[in-house]
């Protein structure tokens, strides 16, 4: 299976300006995703797509290919589907076609090489269009309507007997190329790779970045 890893890293961010270049454990945030992808022998090519030449310099320095993304695909409201489609079709103009796209968002710096490798193996054996990474949750969920908390569950119960729910963490998406070429990420049949909550942090604010740093420090010491 030929796999193209796509790392989308635009320059803009409202929650944390310039977040993809923010330092984390001695290197830019985006470099964590590049490094884990380049270390995976199951991936054929690693491509960073961005509207930033500075991010392009980081991509090349860490061993990835770089694709300059059109401005219309780098807006706050730009969905991920056309970004992945553009990256895949652009690369397939120059090389033989890929069987799957591995989407690695740079805001998930704690995913491990093992997470990536196991996801690919699971995806290869599964009859699904898309695999996504999740983490388990036993919490009680509510929606707030006009200041009133309304439960999203039917009945309460002890944690030990509650069936786990799984939360999409944004760290890993594997997509069959026939879907990605049409601008689709989620096929009709989904599979899931389960990650622990400790590796599921999604960096969108300064607090998230500080938490990721603390977790990386703990991992390094242990």
Helix crossing, 29-38 with 53-61: angle to 10°? 40
Which pLDDT belongs to residue 5? 98
| Residue that is written with structure tokens 């036993």 in the block | 138
Q: What is the pLDDT of residue 70?
A: 92
* pLDDT at site 220: 56
Q: What is the mean pLDDT of each run of 10 residues along the chain (222 residues)?
A: 96 82 95 98 98 96 96 90 97 95 97 98 94 91 90 75 86 97 94 95 93 84 41
Q: What are the boundaries of each domain within the chain? A: 3-134+166-221
SS (H, E, C) the chain: CCEEEEEECCCCCCCCCCHHHCEECCEEHHHHHHHHHHCCCCCCEEEEEECCHHHHHHHHHCCCEEEECCHHHCCCCCCHHHHHHHHHHHHHCCCCCCCEEEECCCCCCCCCHHHHHHHHHHHHHCCCCEEEEEEEECCCCEEEECCEEEECCCCCCCHHHCCCEEEEEEEEEEEEHHHHCCCCCCCCCEEEEECCHHHCCCCCCHHHHHHHHHHHHHHHHC
Nearest Cα neighbor of 102 from 133, 72, 79 is: 133
How far is residue 51's CA from residue 70's CA, in Å, rounded to a whole number?
7
Q: Which fold has domain 3-134+166-221?
A: Spore Coat Polysaccharide Biosynthesis Protein SpsA; Chain A (3.90.550)
Cα-Cα end-to-end distance for the chain: 35
Q: What is the pTM of this model?
A: 0.91
Asked if 21 contacts 32 with a C-beta cutoff of 8 angstroms, the reply is no
């Amino acid at each position: 299976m030929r796999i193209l890893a796509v790392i989308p890293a635009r320059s803009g961010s409202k929650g944390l300006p310039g977040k993809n270049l923010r330092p984390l454990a001695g290197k830019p945030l985006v470099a964590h995703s590049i490094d884990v992808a380049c270390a995976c022998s199951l991936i054929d090519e690693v491509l960073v797509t961005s509207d930033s030449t500075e991010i392009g310099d980081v991509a090349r320095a860490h061993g990835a290919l770089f694709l300059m993304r059109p401005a219309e695909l780098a807006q706050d409201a730009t969905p991920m589907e056309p970004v992945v489609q553009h990256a895949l079709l652009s690369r397939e103009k120059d090389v033989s076609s890929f069987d799957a796209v591995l989407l690695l968002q740079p805001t998930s710096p704690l995913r491990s090489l093992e997470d990536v490798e196991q996801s690919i193996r699971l995806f290869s054996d599964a009859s699904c269009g898309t695999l996504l990474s999740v983490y388990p949750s036993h919490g009680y969920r509510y929606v707030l309507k006009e200041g009133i908390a309304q439960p999203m569950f039917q009945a309460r119960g002890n944690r030990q007997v509650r069936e786990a729910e799984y939360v999409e963490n944004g760290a890993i998406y594997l997509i069959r190329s026939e879907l990605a070429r049409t601008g689709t990420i989620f096929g009709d049949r989904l599979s899931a790779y389960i990650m622990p909550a400790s590796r599921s942090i999604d960096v969108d604010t300064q607090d998230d970045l500080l938490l990721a740093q603390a977790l990386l420090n703990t991992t390094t010491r242990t």
